[in-house]
Structure 1
Amino acid sequence: MNRQNLLVVVPALNEQESISAVIAAVKSVGFQVLVVDDGSSDETYSIAKRSGAQVMELSMNLGVGGALQSGFAYAVANGFDAVVQVDGDDQHSAESIEKLIAAANSTNADMVVGSRFLDGASSMKLPIVRRIGMAILRIYASRSCRTKITDSSSGFRLIRNPLLAEFAKSFPSHYLGDTFEALTVSGKKNYKVIEIPAPFRERQFGKSSSTSLLSLFLVFRALFVVTFGLHFRLSKNSQTRAD
């Protein structure tokens, strides 16, 4: 796997203040970038086009999971072997993309997660309610993936075939579905998931849409979904990779 067969997918909803910086950072390290405009009501689409990205404009808001699935399907249809998921709010470091690739190549992993918490990668401060919720998710994800997971809700990840092709066909659209649920189900289906440290910047523009109490409720909803098998389903277990 190399930069020629990898696509950076950026789901974006009303990120006009930050999207040009995200695109510039990705292009500066030599990767192709697809912005999936998830029904924005601001100038995200036009700014992304002017900034030199490929842009997919969704006719309605599908949620981050729906936007990602659209990007994954585009990648598969256009012959890419892997994608790196990068948020549109400029919180992820484009310089870490090469590290995700190196980790995938050296370990043969199907998914490489950029963790905000592994080896002190970032010093972000979270309310205690969110810390409790994230700790619960970490424990569940670690058991499902049979390896230590420190950041089950990270939106900075590399996903490669054949898992990428599975996600292009079926992927959850709700909050934590695109991160925790996708991670957990992949582990249960024997896809190899690993983590590497990844720096994280605080959001400079806009604000998160979820409060601490809402986040905790959504954590327990996600746990209920995966515990009782109500989650999306991958069509097959992982096969041994030939490359």
Structure 2
Amino acid sequence: MEREKPTNFTKGNTIIGIPLYNSEETIASIILSCKKYSDEVVCIDDCSTDNSAEIVKKTSATLISHTENRGVGGVAKTFFKYAKTKNASIVVLIDSDGQHNPEDLPKIIKPLLDNKADLVIGSRFVRGGGSKDMPTYRKIGLKMINLVSKLHSKQHVRDTQSGYRAFNRKAIDSVRFENEGMKSSLEILESISDKGLRIMEVPTTIRYDLKHTSILHPIPHGISVFSYALTTLSQKRPFLVFGLPGLIMVTIGALFGLRTINRVSEWTGVTVGPGVTFVWIGALGIPLLVSGIVLQYVKRVLNDSINK
């Protein structure tokens, strides 16, 4: 017996987007499950080398094919562009490899239908969520990315890297895509947050015990996303990134300098090491401190001019 669709599901046009890359073993069942909760299922094939695209053609899903591999951000960009042409009121992104459970779609879509959120994220890190067999190094990497993201974001999102997301029309129109790689995961959140839209996380379990779940190596992926998060933090809170470390370095340098001065005052046992340390730490710290203060002021001036 087919599961009932969410309450008021037929009010609006809900389109589910599935980024597709070499998922011939799972894509058919994912499409079938998603169809129950949507008006249209769209698969964006990012140059698969297996039979994934051919399988999609045999289903009721819409197939859009890239001529070159553009990554997660490029797929999302293509999907949102298509959804706008179809005047979608709700769009959902869900993976094609089975990591995301399509049966969680009703609870991910419902807050949008109830007007309680503009973006809903299927989260591993809220109460009731989980990650089956997630490697420890991934957990550590995600925690670091989430921490840096939290420092510059207006909203606290616990799972910034979850690709299981649902957007209403306001969010669809607010999302920007300047990056086509994995950096887009943070860029999307940033654009939604900057517009003052509401973000909600609902619990879901993401599986890591499946074969062929991700083609991305976690280390370069993590470094890429973390560097983007750090760059964004430096733009939004420059004093925290430049000024505070600069102040700390100047303070440490001053302490070494005072120690040297004390030695000199005794006229014996003058130690050159701390004096040299004072010079190079101060030489690094003072420019960082000044940069942090200046950039913070520039940011405030720009914000004031934009808001006028």
- How high is the TM-score relative to the length of structure 2? 0.67
Which of 112, 137, 142 is the matching residue for 1:104?
A: 112
8 Å CA contact retained: 2:134, 2:208:
no
Paired positions, count: 228
Shift of 1:172: 2.6
Q: Which amino acid aligns with 2:23?
A: E
SS in 1 for 2:121: strand
Shift of 1:201: 2.8
Task: Give the percent of matched residue pairs that are identical in Structure 1 and Structure 2.
Answer: 25
**Per the alignment, do residues 106 and 86 of structure 1 end up closer, same or farther by CA in structure 2, a change over 3 Å counting?**
same
Q: What is aligned with 2:166?
A: 158
Distance in 2 (alpha carbons) for counterparts of 1:124 and 1:116: 10
Q: What is aligned with 1:206?
A: 212
SS in 2 for 1:162: helix
SS in 2 for 1:119: coil
Asked which structure has the greater RCO (Cα within 8 Å, sep 6+), the reply is: 1
1:92 aligns with 2:100: yes
1:21 aligns with 2:29: yes
Deviates more, 1:200-209 or 1:88-97: 200-209
8 Å CA contact retained: 2:97, 2:213:
no
Shift of 1:129: 3.3
**Per the alignment, do residues 131 and 43 of structure 1 end up closer, same or farther by CA in structure 2, a change over 3 Å counting?**
same
Q: What is aligned with 2:51?
A: 43
Shift of 1:103: 1.5
- Please show how residues 157-176 of structure 1 align to structure 2 within 5 Å: 157-167=165-175, 170-175=177-182
Deviates more, 1:70-79 or 1:29-38: 29-38
Distance in 1 (alpha carbons) for counterparts of 2:214 and 2:177: 26
Deviation track 1:83-135 (CA, whole Å, cap 9, x = no partner) reads 00001111111121111121223353211001022114224343443322211
**CA-atom RMSD in angstroms:** 2.4
Q: Which amino acid aligns with 1:55?
A: L
SS in 2 for 1:204: coil
8 Å CA contact retained: 1:9, 1:33:
yes
Q: What is aligned with 1:5?
A: 13
1:34 aligns with 2:50: no
8 Å CA contact retained: 1:181, 1:226:
no
More helix by share: 2
Q: What is aligned with 1:193?
A: 199
- How high is the TM-score relative to the length of structure 1? 0.83
Q: What is aligned with 2:90?
A: 82
Shift of 1:145: 4.7
1:182 aligns with 2:194: no
**Which structure has the greater CA radius of gyration?**
2
Shift of 1:52: 1.9
Distance in 2 (alpha carbons) for counterparts of 1:49 and 1:78: 20
- Which ranges in structure 2 are unaligned for 5 or more consecutive residues? 1-7, 237-308
